[in-house]
Amino acid sequence: MNDSTLSYYLSSTLMAFALFFSCQQAYAEITPKPHHIAFTEGQFELTQETEISFNHPDAKPVAEYLAEFLRPPTGYLLPVTKQTRSQRNVITLHLVDSALAEEQYRLAVSAQSIEISARTPTGLFWAVQSLRQLLPAEIESRMPINQASWAVPQVTINDKPRFKYRGMHLDVSRHFFDVEFVKRYIDWLAMHKFNVFQWHLTDDQGWRIAIDAYPKLTEIGATRPHTVVGHTYDYQPLFDQQPVSGFYTQAQIKEVIAYAQARHIEVIPEIDIPGHTSALLAAYPELSCHQQPVKVQPQFGIFEDVLCPREDVFAFLSTVYKEVAELFPSQYIHIGGDEVIKKQWLASPFVKQLMREHQLSTPEQVQSYFIKRVANIVQAQGKTVIGWDEILEGGVAEGAVVMSWRGTQGGIAAAKLGHQVVMSPYQYIYFDAYQSRNLDEPKAIHGLSTLKNVYHYEPQPSHLSPEQQELIIGAQGALWTEYIKTPRHAEYMVFPRLSALAETLWSAKADKSWSEYSQQRLPKLMQRYKKMHINAATSAYNPTISSTIKGEQLQVSMRTDIEGTEIYYTLDGSEPTLTSLRYQQPIIISERTRVRARSFAKPLGQLVGDAQLTLAPHLALGKKISFSYQPVEGSATKLQDGQFAYDQFYSVNDYAIFYDSDLEAVIDLDSSTLVERVEIGYNSGRHRQLHPPTSIKIWGSNDNKNWQPLAHIQQPPGPMSILSFAATRVRYLKVSAINSKQSQDIQIPKLPLYIDEIAVY
């Protein structure tokens, strides 16, 4: 082999390797991950000469959708024809009679053509979504792009979904979102191959769907005078004095349904009963048991007002669900059934008589009676009932599908009873939860559901039998909007968690890899979201700060969920930069320190996150502590872990919690110790105004019998109290904080006292 031949051989090999590598990179862009994929060298060039063809009238809408999607960024007016004779520069969409599954597709890209085949138009549509992700991210622009090349790597894909139900929910009752936003939401679902959109149309804070037979539902029920500012459970809630109003006409409902159908997405309406009906009862108060005026709720949570299980109520609901059934072609109607407070039922003479007549011994059986009556109404319209897992209580309606939201146990129980199940556990796939504890996160309801946690969620519990696992037909994410007022905020909460859930529901379980997803597909997705002008969260790159007790000191560790992400930190509370200390190993803290950290997300080329944690090594770290009234199980350790919570968003796990009782604790310092100050944190969570104690007192003792008063304070300020006193040698400290125990809120019958830390100096 001469030098020129060797040079040519090496050049060709390197080019082939580069093409193969580029194909691998392109594959990394496809989310959810396809089931089977194979690469060859070369690429298909999309040009203004490209033709799109189809072989069957049912394939034409998908072909037209593809042409319309490609037009804005490319400027190409690609022809859509039936059965082209051309063998070059053509995209063909073929419906085929074969053994392919209903949503399965095959996509083959060569230098001359792109061939898409499926048994159904839905399969063709999902193939188009994969093709979309094989193109450069600039294809997402809805404006012309001066792009030199629109290349698609040569690849063969054979793909199908794991679950038949791949759902996402949107609450438009708490905050109203217009038709244009709902359409964008549906587009996002289509891109990620979701096939169900659950539209939560009614709740205590607003009725959002026009019902011709009952116009007051929207005339009265669609408007509330104002909304709580901060959190609905704040110690002293405030209101914004700004009315919230809005509903969808039946014409708009039909418009959204048609839009979703064109994207092969089923729209399931939710009309929530018998609880979460304040807006309904504000319009028609005679449908309650007490028949007194009810208001559309300006706060969030659970309320006493519920529908009464009378015949006039069922007649009313029959008319409502009949109109809903006529509007929505979906096979399902969601009837809610969750969080029903039964106080008004138990006080009602009518309900007491009903219980006697039907041999109902518990309020749960009354709820079951109500749900079964409504299920009959819905089933009479030829629809299948879906309800939240509370519909299991007292006996579930025959044929109902159970949506398990309070964890997985409801779904497990329903599957064992032979019911189909859609998993929607709030701990994993409720997207109204925080994505990190960092202070750059926007307000959320509570809880923590990180991108990594969403990705690792598995809908089919392993301890179910194979037959029972088959009854888990899929899962559904949820976006509740109590604290989400704007489209930009909604985008932040949905992306990129939507992509992680998509991969769980579509991709083969054995093929899932957090490392591969986070290192390869996620960076590409974030670039694509940016081109789509989506306000996607970067929270997966955010740092987490934690500490453990090491004698009288604290050892601080930092991490991120994405391997290889660099963390920069400061120890004086100043904002970290790329010139700050880079975290490499745990740090020992021996004095009060405010640790602050940010991460450098390489794929984004920027610092992200704002993790902060105030650490306070003190004399009571890890010492023995006893209580007159036990706190919530497992929470006592938070009193002496050296961490104050006021630099992070509220998490119940940061506190020792006393429900309807006081804190009265005795700390054993092991030996006689000179003390002169005690700091107590209690109203520390960002975003939440926690209930403060009414008074705090400190005593000292050397025998745990004879106590000397050291300090006290009445009506302590927030977020913490510092009680100083003359330096005194004591072995034992007694600390009391009095719970006000004066809840006026039905949602908090027992007032919680949260204590963050008892720091002794």
Which is it for the CA torsion 291, 293, 296, 302, positive or negative? negative
Check: CB of residue 67 under 8 Å from CB of residue 52: yes
Choose among 220, 207, 198, 199: nearest CA to 173: 207
Q: Which residues have CB under 8 Å from 323's CB, separation 6+? A: 211, 212, 213, 250
Look at the block and give the residue holding tokens 């320190």: 593
In sequence order, the 6+-apart residues with CB closer than 8 A to the CB of 428 are 449, 453, 454, 457
**Secondary structure of 23-45 in the HEC alphabet?**
HHHHHHHCCCCCCEEEEEEEEEE
Q: Which of 43, 37, 47 is nearest to 16 (CA)?
A: 43
What is d(CA 151, CA 135) in angstroms, rounded to the nearest whole number?
Answer: 6
Do residues 206 and 246 touch, judged by C-beta distance below 8 A? yes
Q: Reading across the β-sheet that carries 606-615, which strands appear in turn?
A: 581-582, 566-570, 593-601, 606-615, 643-644
Whole-angstrom distance, CA of residue 124 vs CA of residue 328: 24
Which residues are part of the catalytic machinery?
Answer: 339
Which residue in the block uniquely carries the two structure tokens 């890899």?
A: 513
What is the CA 157 to chain-centroid distance, rounded?
A: 30
Half-sphere exposure of 596 (CA within 13 A, CB side): 17
CA distance 102 to 381: 26
Q: How many Å apart are CA 739 and CA 733, to the nearest integer?
A: 19
CB atoms within 10 A of CB 41: 16
